[in-house]
Chain A
Amino acid sequence: GNSVTQMEGPVTLSEEAFLTINCTYTATGYPSLFWYVQYPGEGLQLLLKATKADDKGSNKGFEATYRKETTSFHLEKGSVQVSDSAVYFCALSEGNYGQNFVFGPGTRLSVLP
């Protein structure tokens, strides 16, 4: 079945450092890809998405490009802030109508001042 793999955490960075969180997927067909963020005690929030190969999703300084050839969707940010501390989930949509998500295990990011 479809699956998503993320780099192991936790990731600890200093403020203004460059962030990369790796994500690779295995899927039949060409699913849409997503990054979700979960702050402590909260549900998931959509960070960005890409629906086809070579699409770049971006939001709040975060970016990720849908790479079909490497089946990857790595998350990047040029300069992280303390407020970016959270758990980040890579996900793909599956089902006849793309109606459900397959999530990776999540990567916890801690940004130190």
Chain B
Amino acid sequence: ETGVTQSPTHLIKTRGQQVTLRCSSQSGHNTVSWYQQALGQGPQFIFQYYREEENGRGNFPPRFSGLQFPNYSSELNVNALELDDSALYLCASSFSGTGTFYTFGSGTRLTVV
């Protein structure tokens, strides 16, 4: 049974550019959540996808968008990158869609310069 896989592991982008981060959920999981973890802080909820539909969203602007595919993998897209978007982006998957049985990936470290 594989865990949650995120790619790439590290990324450097220039302010104003767009970025796509990818997440392969754990086998059998149908729910994916994305979190942003700034340096020295706790993760903050961006949004969740359940069976390809957005199932909740945190306090992030519309330039943060996502997709979930039929195989339950997911993408996080961020447009018009800002310096403050520099963070570790964590993906977590679950089967039940509740906050009990999530498996987290190791994250993508995004640096915006």
State the Cβ distance, B99 to closest chain A Cβ, in Å: 3
Q: Is A95 an interface residue (CB 8 A)?
A: yes
A-side interface residues toward B, CB under 8 Å?
Answer: 4, 32, 34, 36, 41-46, 49, 51, 89, 91, 93-106
A-B contact count (CB 8 A): 69
Nearest-CB residue, chain B, relative to A36: B104
**Docked CA distance A99–B42 (Å):** 17
* Inter-subunit contact B42/A93 (CB<8 Å): no
Interface string of B34-53 (1 = CB under 8 A from A): 01000011111100101000
Most buried by B among A46, A99, A100, A104: A100
* Inter-subunit contact A89/B42 (CB<8 Å): yes
Nearest-CB residue, chain A, relative to B102: A46
Given A43-B4, A44-B90, CB of A104 within 8 Å of CB of B100? no
